[in-house]
C-alpha cells in the first residue's frame, strides 16, 4: 500500500516536465533594469501589469474600501465573520454587472447564477467535479493553457482529449477536428461530457468568431453535452473584432429558454482583466440551478476572502472608474502588442494576427533546424540560455505543429520589451551567420545525444504564475540532450 | 448529465446541522429588532475579542491600506505564489509555536497555506488517501467532515466510537474496533484524524490518548492528522499539547522517522483570531512529498495576497498577539462558566471542558426514550419552541443519544442570559 495517495505521487499535475527549466533559469537570474540588466527577461508570464498605476490612485481616493469601512464606520467585524459561500451580495451584483459591461451589455448576468471561487483555477476544477466523473472526458481545442492539464484532470480524474487546430486556418476550430476528437475519445472508451474553450484564446490571443461559436453550440446540442467557455481574457480585447461571448450567440439564436442554455457555463476571473491575480477572485456562471447549487457548496473549498470581496465590490461599483480603466487598459495592451509584433517583424518573425490577451502566438518555424518538437525544444533552450528570454514553447500548450511560441508582453515596461526585441533580433541575425557551422554542430550533437541524463528535480514551477506550465509529451521527443551537453555544445560552436 | 458528485448528497448539507441554520436564517434573534427570534447557539465562532483586533487595526492603518511607512506596497501585495508570502508564513509559524507555549518550533518551509481549514483538510486527504480507502475519526466529530473529507475525494470515514462512560476519551480498543470494522468493509485504513482540542467536546487530548494514537499509528503504519484549529482557545488547564510536541517527546524524528513523516497538522485563524471570512488555513507536515504535493494543490484555494499582507503585519506585532491570546482566553473562560452555570440551573450538566467555543451538554435525562429519534424530537423542540439552535449529537455521529453542542463565543452576555432564561422556563415545564 502506498504511503501517500496516487495523486500525491503521480505527475498528472504536469509540473515535472523539463519545461519548468525556463522558470528555474529565470528565478536564478531574473532581469532587472537596474540591478541585473543581463538577466533573463520573463516573457512566459501572462500577467497584466500595465495599469497598476491606475489602480493605486483609486485605492488612495477610496480609503474606506481598503480600510473595511462603510460610510466611515468600520465593518471589520461583519467582514471578518462573513464566510457565506453564497458570497457577498454587493460583490456578486457588481461582478455580474461588470461582466455584462465587458460584453457591451449585449447579455446580462444574474448575480444568483454567479458562484465565487478562489481564482479561475478553482472555478475550472470545480466545474469538472460538477459535470464529469472520473474517467469521463472533455474536448479541448489545441493549443491550450498548459495549466489545464492540472486544473481539469489532476484531482478530478477527468481526461482531456484534444481538438487539433492548425495554422492552415489560423488555428480556428473546425467541425472535422471536433468530430475527430470525439471519435478519439470513443476509441479510448471515454465518455465525452463536454467541450471547454478559452475565448479569447490562451495562447493564441484571438477571439472566437461567431461561426466557430455556432459550430460548437450545434455540436453540443447534437451530442447533448456541456460547453464551458473560459472567458477570463474577455476584458483584454483591445481591437476588432470585438468580443462575442457564447451567451450572446445563444441569446441571438433564441436558445435562451432551451435545454442547451443550461449546458453552457462560463468561467471568469479578475486576474487578467484587472491585473489582480493575487486576490484570487474567480467565478462560475451557469444557468443550471443544480450546477449553481453544487458548485456553491464546493466553493467552500476555495472561498474568496471577504476582505477582498469588499474591496472589489467598491471598485467595480465605481462604474466611471471601471469604464476609464478598461478603456486605458485596452489602449496600453494594444500599444504593447503592436510594439512586440512590429519588433518581431523586423527580426523576420511573424505573429498570428491577434486582438486580445496578454501575449502573442509567435511563428518561429523558420528558425527550427527541422520540423520536429526536438528542434523546438532546442530553439527554446537557446532562447533561454543565449537570448536570455523565457517564453512558452507550443508543445507545452499541446500544439501539434512545432515552432510556435507564446510570448507575453503585458508584464513589462516598454523599455524592457524593446530590450527583449533587440535581443531576439540579434539572435536571429546570428543564426543566419552560423548556418555554415551548422554541419559541424550537427555532428557534435549526435555525439552528445548519447549521454541522456535528464530529469530536473521537482521544484516550484508555478512559482509566479500558472500560465506557463507544460507537460512536454515524451512521445514527441524521444531524444533529449542533457543540459550541460547542450550548453557545452553551443559554447563549442560559438 | 451532471457528475455523480453534483447529484448526490455526500456534501451532507441535508443533515439537521444545516437545517437548524436555515431556520435561524429565516428568523434570527436580535436584541432590539427581533427579541423572540431564534438564538444561534450552533455556530462555533469566536466573537469575543474583536475589539482587540479592531483597536490594532485603528493603530495600524497602513497594513489595511497596503502601505508601508506611508508608501504604497500595492504591487508587492499582488503576488500570486503558491508558496505564500514568506513574511506571513514566518509569522504564522511563530504564532503557532507561541500557542503551543513555544515547546515546539515550526519551519515555515513545511507550512502550506490553504483557503481555510476546510480546504486544508480536503487537500491533505487528497494527498494521503486514494478513493475507496478510509480514515478513522473519533466520534463525536464536526459534521462538516462528511463533506470536507469524503465528498470529492471519494474517501470513507470509519468512526472510532467514544462514550460518555469515560468522558468520550479515545481508547485503544475503540481504535482497534474501528480498524476491524474497516477491514470487514474491505476498506484500507490510511490514517486517523483527530481534532485537538475537540470540536464538539471542548476538551484537549490527554497524555494517554496521545500515547494510544502514536502506538496505534506505528503498529498499523498509518498517518495521524491532527486538526488543531481550536488550539488557541484553550482557556484552562490542562494546557494544550500538540501532536508535534508529543512526537518530539517520544523522539520520533530519530526513533521512528516513519511516523514522524506521517504526522500532519491542520490549522486556521478562523477560530483563534475570529477571522473565518478571511479564509486563512494551513497544513503543516514534516513530509517533504506531502508539502510539495499540497503546495501544488493549494493552487485550488490560495489565500488572498491582500489578506496575507494584512495578517502578516498583525502577527508580527508580538505585543499584540501576546495580549490577544491572554485576553481571549480569559473571556472564553468567563463565557463558558456563565453557560455552564446557566445550564446547571436548568438541570443540565456539561462535559468538563477546557477549550473551544462550545460546551458538550448532557440532556439524556430529557429524552423520552434512549433513542436518536427522541434526541431529534428534543432538538427540534428546543429549536422551534424554545428558540435556540443547538447542534444535536446525532449530526456529530455521537454514539449515544442525548448530547448536544451549545456554542457560547458568538453571543453577548445579555443574549446568553436570555437563552438561559428560555431554557430554564422550558426545563421547568
| pLDDT tens, residue by residue, A2-23 | 788 888 888 766 665 655 677 7
| Nearest-by-CA chain B residue for A152 | B300
> Measured between beta carbons, which residues in chain A are less than 8 angstroms from residue B11?
294, 297-298
Give B 312-351 residues with CB within 8 A of chain A: none
The string of pLDDT tens digits covering residues A71-104 is 989 899 989 988 899 999 999 999 999 999 999 9
Sequence-separated (6 or more) residues with CB below 8 Å from residue A426: A387
Cell numbers for B114, please give them.
490553504
Give A 308-347 residues with CB within 8 A of chain B: 308, 311
Q: How far is B157 from chain A (nearest CA, A)?
A: 16
Among candidate residues A92, A172, A193, A272, the one labeled active-site is: A272
Give start-end residues of each CATH 3.90.1150.10 domain in chain A: 6-51+323-430
Among candidate residues A102, A178, A228, A232, the one labeled active-site is: A232
A457 interfacial to chain B (CB closer than 8 Å): no
Nearest by CB to A81, from B6, B45, B82: name it. Answer: B45
Q: Once rounded to an integer, what is the mean pLDDT over residues A207-230?
A: 97
pLDDT beyond 60 at A434:
no
Alpha-carbon gap, residue A452 to B279, rounded angstroms: 46
A67 interfacial to chain B (CB closer than 8 Å): yes
Q: Between A and B, how many CB-CB pairs are < 8 A?
A: 221
Whether residues B307 and A307 touch (CB distance < 8 A) is answered with: yes
pLDDT beyond 60 at A475:
no
**Going by CATH, does the domain composed of A69-318 fall within 3.30.1490.20?**
no
B59 interfacial to chain A (CB closer than 8 Å): no
Whether residues A66 and B65 touch (CB distance < 8 A) is answered with: yes
Give A 132-191 residues with CB within 8 A of chain B: 132-134, 136, 150-151, 154-155
pLDDT beyond 70 at A436:
no
Give the H/E segment covering residue A78. Answer: helix A76-81
Give B 254-293 residues with CB within 8 A of chain A: 262, 270, 274-279, 287, 289-290, 292-293
Quick one: pLDDT at residue B316? Answer: 95
* Among the listed residues A267, A245, A258, the one whose alpha carbon sits nearest the alpha carbon of residue A196: A267
What SS3 state is found at A309?
helix
Is residue B54 within 8 Å of residue A74, measured between CB atoms?
yes
pLDDT bracket for residue A474 (50, 70, 90): very low
Told to judge if A297 belongs to the known catalytic residues of this protein, a careful annotator would answer no
pLDDT bracket for residue A318 (50, 70, 90): very high
Cell numbers for B299, please give them.
493552487
Interface test with chain B among A57, A120, A305, by most B beta carbons within 10 Å: A305
Q: Once rounded to an integer, what is the mean pLDDT over residues A321-345?
A: 96
Alpha-carbon gap, residue B171 to B166, rounded angstroms: 9
What SS3 state is found at A32?
strand
Neighbours of B264 (CB within 10 A): 28
**Cross-strand bridge partners of residue B18:** none
Q: How far is B347 from chain A (nearest CA, A)?
A: 33
> Measured between beta carbons, which residues in chain A are less than 8 angstroms from residue B119?
300-302
Interface test with chain B among A81, A148, A264, by most B beta carbons within 10 Å: A81
* Among the listed residues A158, A144, A172, the one whose alpha carbon sits nearest the alpha carbon of residue A226: A158
Give start-end residues of each CATH 3.40.640.10 domain in chain A: 69-318
Alpha-carbon gap, residue B326 to B320, rounded angstroms: 10
DSSP A372: S
Whether residues B115 and A280 touch (CB distance < 8 A) is answered with: yes
* Among the listed residues A302, A366, A262, A332, the one whose alpha carbon sits nearest the alpha carbon of residue A121: A302
**Going by CATH, does the domain composed of A6-51+323-430 fall within 3.60.21.10?**
no
Give B 193-232 residues with CB within 8 A of chain A: none
> Measured between beta carbons, which residues in chain A are less than 8 angstroms from residue B310?
307
The pairing of beta strand B403-407 with beta strand B358-362: antiparallel
Is residue A207 within 8 Å of residue A237, measured between CB atoms?
yes
Q: How far is B366 from chain A (nearest CA, A)?
A: 34
Most confident of A20-24, A240-244, A490-494: A240-244
pLDDT beyond 60 at A456:
no
Whether residues B278 and A305 touch (CB distance < 8 A) is answered with: yes
Nearest by CB to B64, from A47, A67, A277: name it. Answer: A67
Nearest by CB to B77, from A278, A288, A302: name it. Answer: A278
Q: How far is A276 from chain B (nearest CA, A)?
A: 6
Give, to the nearest 10 degrees, the angle between helix A414-433 and helix A319-346: 20
Whether residues B78 and A52 touch (CB distance < 8 A) is answered with: yes
**Share above pLDDT 90 across residues of chain A, in percent, rounded to a whole number:** 74
CA B158, B164, B169, B173 torsion-angle sign:
negative
Q: In degrees rounded to 5, what are phi and psi of residue A62?
A: -130, 60
Quick one: pLDDT at residue B428? Answer: 84
Q: How far is B129 from chain A (nearest CA, A)?
A: 5
Q: How far is A121 from chain B (nearest CA, A)?
A: 6
Q: How far is A202 from chain B (nearest CA, A)?
A: 19
| Nearest-by-CA chain A residue for B223 | A3
pLDDT along chain B (429 residues), means of 10: 82 69 89 92 92 91 85 79 91 95 94 96 97 97 94 97 96 98 97 96 95 96 97 94 93 94 96 91 96 94 91 94 95 95 94 96 96 95 93 94 95 92 89
Q: In degrees rounded to 5, what are phi and psi of residue A416?
A: -65, -40
**Cross-strand bridge partners of residue A160:** A138
Told to judge if A272 belongs to the known catalytic residues of this protein, a careful annotator would answer yes
Q: How far is B378 from chain A (nearest CA, A)?
A: 28
Q: In degrees rounded to 5, what are phi and psi of residue A449?
A: -60, -20
Give B 97-136 residues with CB within 8 A of chain A: 115-116, 118-119, 122, 126-131
Give the H/E segment covering residue A214. Answer: helix A210-223
Sequence-separated (6 or more) residues with CB below 8 Å from residue A371: A365, A402, A403
Residue A379's alpha-carbon distances to A70, A144, A402, B254, in angstroms, are 55, 21, 11, 48
Is residue B151 within 8 Å of residue B11, measured between CB atoms?
yes
Interface test with chain A among B25, B229, B279, B409, by most A beta carbons within 10 Å: B279
Whether residues B118 and A301 touch (CB distance < 8 A) is answered with: yes
Q: In degrees rounded to 5, what are phi and psi of residue A354?
A: -130, 155
Nearest by CB to A305, from B45, B122, B307: name it. Answer: B307
Higher pLDDT, A451 or B229: B229
**pTM, full prediction:** 0.89
Is residue B52 within 8 Å of residue B323, measured between CB atoms?
yes
Give A 223-252 residues with CB within 8 A of chain B: 224
Note the Cα B102 to chain centre separation in Å.
21
H-assigned helices in A393-437: 414-433
> Measured between beta carbons, which residues in chain A are less than 8 angstroms from residue B116?
83, 300, 303
> Measured between beta carbons, which residues in chain B are less than 8 angstroms from residue A224?
1
Among candidate residues A149, A230, A273, A467, the one labeled active-site is: A230
Told to judge if A92 belongs to the known catalytic residues of this protein, a careful annotator would answer no
* Among the listed residues A380, A419, A392, the one whose alpha carbon sits nearest the alpha carbon of residue A37: A419
Quick one: pLDDT at residue A469? Answer: 36
Burial letters B195-234, b for 16+ CB under 10 A, else e: bbbbbbbbbbbeeebbebbbebbbebebbbbbbbbbbbbb
pLDDT beyond 80 at A454:
no
The CATH code for residues B4-51+325-428 is 3.90.1150.10
Told to judge if A230 belongs to the known catalytic residues of this protein, a careful annotator would answer yes
Quick one: pLDDT at residue A441? Answer: 52
pLDDT beyond 70 at A217:
yes
Quick one: pLDDT at residue A20? Answer: 65
Alpha-carbon gap, residue A13 to A9, rounded angstroms: 10
Higher pLDDT, A239 or A256: A239
Quick one: pLDDT at residue A457? Answer: 28
**Secondary structure in 3-state letters for chain B:** CCCHHHHCCCCCCCCHHHHHHHHHHHCECECCCECCCEEECCCCCCCCCHHHHHHHHHHCHHHHCCEECCEECCCHHHCCCCCCCHHHHHHHHHHHHHHCCCCCCCCHHHEEEECHHHHHHHHHHHHHCCCCCEEEEECCCCCCHHHHHHCCCCCEEEEECCCHHHCCCCCHHHHHHHHHHHHHCCCCEEEEEEECCCCCCCCCCCHHHHHHHHHHHHHHCCEEEEECCCHHHCCCCCCCCCHHHHHHHCCHHHHCHHHHCCEEEEEECCCCCCCHHHCCEEEEECCHHHHHHHHHHHHHCCCCHHHHHHHHHHHHCHHHHHHHHHHHHHHHHHHHHHHHHHHHHCCCEECCCCCCCEEEEECHHHCCCCCHHHHHHHHHHHHHCCCEECEEHHHHCCCCCCEEEEECCCCCHHHHHHHHHHHHHHHHC
Q: Once rounded to an integer, what is the mean pLDDT over residues A53-69?
A: 90
Q: In degrees rounded to 5, what are phi and psi of residue A393?
A: -70, 145
Nearest by CB to A5, from B7, B126, B276: name it. Answer: B126
Whether residues B147 and A59 touch (CB distance < 8 A) is answered with: no
Quick one: pLDDT at residue A443? Answer: 52
> Measured between beta carbons, which residues in chain A are less than 8 angstroms from residue B6?
129-131, 290-291, 294-295
The pairing of beta strand B189-195 with beta strand B156-160: unpaired
Q: How far is B333 from chain A (nearest CA, A)?
A: 21
Alpha-carbon gap, residue B387 to B36, rounded angstroms: 8
Q: Where are the domains of chain B?
A: 4-51+325-428, 67-316
A52 interfacial to chain B (CB closer than 8 Å): yes
pLDDT beyond 90 at A257:
no
Quick one: pLDDT at residue B411? Answer: 87
Helix %, strand %, coil % of chain A (to 5): 50, 15, 40
Out of A370-379, A483-492, B26-35, pick the least confident.
A483-492
Nearest by CB to A311, from B151, B152, B306: name it. Answer: B306
**Going by CATH, does the domain composed of B67-316 fall within 3.30.70.270?**
no
> Measured between beta carbons, which residues in chain B are less than 8 angstroms from residue A132?
3
Is residue B108 within 8 Å of residue B312, measured between CB atoms?
no
Amino acid at each position: 500500500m502506498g504511503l501517500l495517495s496516487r495523486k500525491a505521487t503521480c505527475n498528472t499535475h504536469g509540473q515535472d516536465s523539463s519545461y519548468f527549466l525556463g522558470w528555474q533559469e529565470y528565478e536564478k537570474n531574473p532581469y532587472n533594469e537596474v540591478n541585473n540588466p543581463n538577466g533573463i527577461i520573463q516573457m512566459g508570464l501572462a500577467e497584466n501589469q500595465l495599469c497598476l498605476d491606475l489602480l493605486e490612485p483609486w485605492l488612495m481616493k477610496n480609503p474606506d474600501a481598503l480600510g473595511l469601512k462603510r460610510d466611515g464606520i468600520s465593518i471589520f467585524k461583519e467582514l471578518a465573520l462573513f464566510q457565506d459561500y453564497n458570497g457577498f451580495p454587493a460583490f456578486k451584483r457588481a461582478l455580474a454587472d461588470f461582466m455584462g459591461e465587458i460584453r457591451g451589455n449585449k447579455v446580462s448576468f444574474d448575480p444568483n447564477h454567479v458562484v465565487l471561487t478562489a481564482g479561475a483555477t478553482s472555478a475550472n476544477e470545480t466545474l469538472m467535479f460538477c459535470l464529469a466523473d472520473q474517467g469521463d472526458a472533455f474536448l479541448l481545442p489545441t493549443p491550450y493553457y498548459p495549466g489545464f492539464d492540472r486544473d481539469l484532470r489532476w484531482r478530478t480524474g477527468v481526461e482531456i482529449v484534444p481538438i487539433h487546430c492548425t495554422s492552415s486556418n489560423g488555428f480556428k476550430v473546425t467541425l472535422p477536428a471536433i468530430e475527430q476528437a470525439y471519435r478519439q475519445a470513443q476509441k479510448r472508451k471515454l465518455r465525452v461530457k463536454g467541450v471547454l474553450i478559452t475565448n479569447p484564446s490562451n495562447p493564441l490571443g484571438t477571439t472566437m468568431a461567431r461561426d466557430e461559436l455556432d459550430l460548437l453550440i450545434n455540436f453540443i446540442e447534437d451530442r447533448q453535452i456541456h460547453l464551458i467557455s473560459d472567458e477570463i481574457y474577455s476584458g483584454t480585447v483591445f481591437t476588432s473584432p470585438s468580443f462575442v461571448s457564447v451567451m450572446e450567440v445563444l441569446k441571438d439564436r433564441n436558445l435562451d429558454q432551451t435545454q442547451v442554455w443550461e449546458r453552457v457555463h462560463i468561467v471568469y476571473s479578475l486576474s487578467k482583466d484587472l491585473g489582480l491575480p493575487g486576490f484570487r477572485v474567480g467565478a462560475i456562471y451557469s444557468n443550471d440551478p443544480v450546477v449553481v447549487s453544487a458548485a456553491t457548496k464546493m466553493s467552500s473549498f476555495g472561498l474568496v476572502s471577504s476582505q477582498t470581496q469588499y474591496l472589489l465590490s467598491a471598485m467595480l461599483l465605481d462604474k466611471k472608474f471601471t469604464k476609464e480603466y478598461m478603456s486605458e487598459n485596452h489602449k496600453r495592451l494594444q500599444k504593447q502588442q503592436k510594439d512586440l509584433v512590429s519588433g518581431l517583424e523586423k527580426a523576420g518573425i511573424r505573429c498570428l494576427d491577434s486582438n486580445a490577451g496578454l501575449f502573442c502566438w509567435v511563428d518561429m518555424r523558420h528558425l527550427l533546424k527541422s520540423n520536429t518538437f526536438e528542434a523546438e525544444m532546442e530553439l527554446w533552450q537557446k532562447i533561454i540560455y543565449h537570448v536570455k528570454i523565457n517564453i512558452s514553447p507550443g508543445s507545452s500548450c499541446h500544439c501539434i505543429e512545432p515552432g510556435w511560441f507564446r510570448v507575453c508582453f503585458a508584464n513589462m515596461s516598454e523599455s524592457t520589451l524593446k530590450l527583449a526585441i533587440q535581443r531576439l533580433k540579434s539572435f536571429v541575425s546570428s543564426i543566419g551567420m552560423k548556418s555554415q557551422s551548422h554541419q559541424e554542430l550537427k555532428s557534435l550533437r549526435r555525439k552528445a545525444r548519447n549521454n541522456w541524463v535528464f530529469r530536473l528535480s521537482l521544484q516550484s514551477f508555478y512559482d509566479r504564475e500558472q500560465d506557463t506550465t507544460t507537460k512536454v509529451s515524451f512521445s514527441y521527443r524521444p531524444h533529449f540532450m542533457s543540459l550541460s551537453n547542450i550548453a557545452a555544445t553551443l559554447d563549442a560552436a560559438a | 448529465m451532471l457528475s455523480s458528485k453534483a447529484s448526490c448528497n455526500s456534501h451532507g448539507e441535508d443533515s439537521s446541522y444545516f437545517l437548524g441554520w436555515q431556520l435561524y436564517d429565516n428568523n434570527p434573534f436580535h436584541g432590539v429588532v427581533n427579541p423572540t427570534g431564534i438564538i444561534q447557539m450552533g455556530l462555533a465562532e469566536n466573537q469575543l475579542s474583536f475589539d482587540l483586533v479592531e483597536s490594532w487595526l485603528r493603530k495600524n492603518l497602513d497594513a489595511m491600506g497596503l502601505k508601508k511607512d506611508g508608501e504604497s506596497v500595492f504591487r508587492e501585495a499582488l503576488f500570486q505564489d503558491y508558496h505564500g508570502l514568506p513574511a506571513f508564513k514566518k509569522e504564522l509559524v511563530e504564532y503557532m509555536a507561541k500557542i503551543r507555549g513555544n515547546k515546539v518550533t515550526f519551519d515555515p518551509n513545511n507550512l502550506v497555506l490553504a483557503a481555510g481549514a476546510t480546504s486544508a483538510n480536503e487537500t491533505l486527504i487528497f494527498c494521503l488517501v486514494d478513493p475507496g480507502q478510509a480514515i478513522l475519526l473519533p466520534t463525536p466529530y464536526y459534521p462538516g467532515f462528511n463533506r470536507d473529507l469524503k465528498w470529492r475525494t471519494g474517501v470513507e470515514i470509519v468512526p472510532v466510537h467514544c462514550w460518555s462512560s469515560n468522558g468520550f476519551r479515545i481508547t485503544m480498543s475503540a481504535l482497534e474496533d474501528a480498524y476491524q470494522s474497516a477491514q470487514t468493509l474491505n476498506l484500507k485504513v490510511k490514517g486517523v484524524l483527530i481534532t485537538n482540542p475537540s470540536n464538539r467536546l471542548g476538551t484537549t487530548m490527554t497524555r494517554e490518548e496521545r500515547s494510544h494514537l502514536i502506538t496505534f499509528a506505528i503498529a498499523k503504519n498509518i498517518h495521524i492528522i491532527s486538526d488543531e484549529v481550536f488550539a488557541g482557545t484553550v482557556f484552562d488547564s490542562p494546557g494544550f499539547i500538540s501532536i508535534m510536541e508529543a512526537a518530539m517527546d517520544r523522539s520520533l524524528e530519530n526513533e521512528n522517522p516513519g511516523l514522524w513523516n506521517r504526522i500532519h497538522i491542520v490549522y486556521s485563524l478562523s477560530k483563534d483570531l475570529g477571522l473565518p471570512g478571511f479564509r486563512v488555513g494551513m497544513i503543516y507536515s514534516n513530509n517533504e512529498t506531502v508539502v510539495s504535493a499540497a503546495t501544488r494543490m493549494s493552487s485550488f484555494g490560495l489565500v488572498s495576497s491582500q489578506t496575507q499582507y494584512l495578517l502578516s503585519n498583525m502577527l508580527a506585532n508580538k505585543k499584540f498577539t501576546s495580549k490577544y491570546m491572554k485576553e481571549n482566553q480569559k473571556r472564553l473562560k468567563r463565557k463558558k462558566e456563565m453557560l455552564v452555570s446557566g445550564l446547571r440551573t436548568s438541570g443540565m450538566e456539561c462535559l468538563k471542558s477546557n477549550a473551544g467555543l462550545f460546551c458538550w451538554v448532557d440532556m439524556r435525562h430529557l429524552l423520552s426514550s434512549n433513542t436518536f429519534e427522541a434526541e431529534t424530537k428534543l432538538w427540534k423542540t428546543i429549536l422551534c419552541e424554545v428558540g435556540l439552535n443547538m447542534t444535536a449529537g446525532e449530526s456529530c455521529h455521537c454514539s449515544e443519544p442525548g448530547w448536544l453542542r451549545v456554542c457560547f463565543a458568538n453571543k453577548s452576555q445579555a443574549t446568553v442570559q436570555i437563552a438561559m432564561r428560555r431554557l430554564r422556563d422550558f426545563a421547568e415545564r
